[in-house]
């Protein structure tokens, strides 16, 4: 099934909502409050609940909720194996590559070759050229990032959750790291979590559920304090854009532009005076 398939009517809330919610709530348990046993319990309970519902169904049809939730659970468990604190040394970058890469590759492999339902795919182009509103939104993202991110990072002090970048080597590592994680966000939260959830729930409900996972990951990564005020709308809008454009390439472009501003703000915060000409607030 294509990643942005045209699906029939799906419920906003159904008997399967509770198991799906439990699986998604494992994300704040694992990444926000960081209580591993609670996260494992929520995942196990959610999967068991989904299996029980499907077992009792009179006429099972359509995709399996248990299988789809298991793919999301596997991805979260793989990510939870590492500390998501932003670090830029060689060991940390390899650790991130293996864990985040595994969280995308393993669900994809299970879906395609074990479950054989091809639920996950990565439609890069979407089959059509970018429209005027898409180009306009790219400019809007840059403007909103420039307007909001310096104030957020500098007034909250969360820039200190990232390592000091005061040399060309560290600045280059930060650039690569921020961009790589941004691309991964779309591969896992949108093309995996959101796509799997919307096979069972209305787009809006699936979007809210994936945003729980998305924002929880970003919290541990460093977007704390009042960061969710920014990250929740961002997660929701990215899924909506993906539905409308059917293009992974476009949502990645949006994310990378936003992350380019994040990168510049972090450099600005750790190097007073370097980019004062670009931003309206100084560290």
Helix boundaries (H) for the chain:
17-31, 36-56, 65-80, 90-109, 132-156, 168-185, 195-197, 203-221, 228-245, 248-270
From the list 97, 80, 90, the residue with the least C-alpha distance to 38 is: 80
pLDDT digits (tens, 9 = 90+) for 153-176: 999 999 999 999 999 999 999 999
* Direct distance between the N- and C-terminal alpha carbons of the chain, in angstroms, rounded to an integer: 49
Encoded tokens for 262: 């994040």
pLDDT digits (tens, 9 = 90+) for 198-224: 999 999 999 999 999 999 999 999 999
pLDDT digits (tens, 9 = 90+) for 125-138: 877 889 999 999 99
Burial environment of residue 89 by CB neighbours within 10 A (0 to 12, 13 to 18, 19 or more): exposed
Burial environment of residue 2 by CB neighbours within 10 A (0 to 12, 13 to 18, 19 or more): exposed
Q: How confident is the prediction for the chain on average, in pLDDT?
A: 94
Each domain of the chain, given as residue ranges in start order, spans: 17-270
Rounded to whole angstroms, the Cα distance separating 47 from 21 reads 10
Under the banding of pLDDT at 50, 70 and 90, the label for residue 2 is: very low
Encoded tokens for 145: 């990032």
pLDDT digits (tens, 9 = 90+) for 20-58: 999 999 999 999 999 999 999 999 999 999 999 998 875
C-alpha 247, offset from chain centre = 16
Task: Report in angstroms the alpha-carbon separations of 246 from 51, 122, 138, 183, 243.
Answer: 31, 10, 16, 16, 5
pLDDT digits (tens, 9 = 90+) for 218-256: 999 999 999 999 999 999 999 999 999 999 999 999 999
């Amino acid at each position: 099934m294509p990643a942005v398939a045209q699906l029939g009517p799906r419920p906003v809330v159904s008997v399967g909502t509770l198991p799906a919610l439990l699986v998604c709530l494992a994300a704040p348990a694992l990444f926000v409050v960081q209580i591993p046993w609670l996260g494992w319990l929520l995942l196990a309970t959610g999967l068991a609940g989904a299996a029980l519902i499907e077992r009792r169904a009179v006429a099972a049809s359509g995709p399996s909720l248990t299988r789809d939730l298991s793919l999301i659970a596997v991805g979260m468990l793989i990510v939870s194996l590492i500390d998501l604190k932003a670090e830029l040394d060689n060991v940390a970058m390899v650790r991130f590559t293996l864990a985040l890469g595994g969280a995308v590759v393993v669900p994809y492999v299970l879906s395609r070759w074990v479950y054989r339902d091809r639920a996950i795919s990565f439609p890069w182009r979407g089959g059509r050229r970018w429209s005027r509103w898409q180009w306009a939104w790219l400019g809007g993202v840059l403007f909103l990032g420039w307007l909001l991110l310096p104030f957020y990072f500098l007034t909250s002090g969360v820039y200190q959750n990232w390592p000091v970048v005061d040399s060309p080597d560290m600045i280059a590592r930060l650039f690569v790291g921020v961009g790589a994680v941004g691309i991964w966000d779309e591969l896992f939260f949108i093309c995996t979590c959101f796509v799997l959830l919307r096979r069972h729930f209305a787009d809006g409900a699936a979007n809210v559920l994936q945003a729980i996972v998305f924002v929880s990951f970003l919290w541990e990564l460093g977007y704390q304090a009042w960061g969710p005020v920014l990250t929740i709308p961002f997660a929701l809008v990215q899924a909506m854009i993906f539905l409308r454009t059917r293009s992974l390439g476009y949502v990645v472009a949006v994310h990378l532009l936003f992350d380019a501003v994040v990168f510049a703000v972090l450099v600005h915060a750790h190097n007073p005076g370097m980019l004062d000409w670009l931003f309206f607030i100084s560290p």
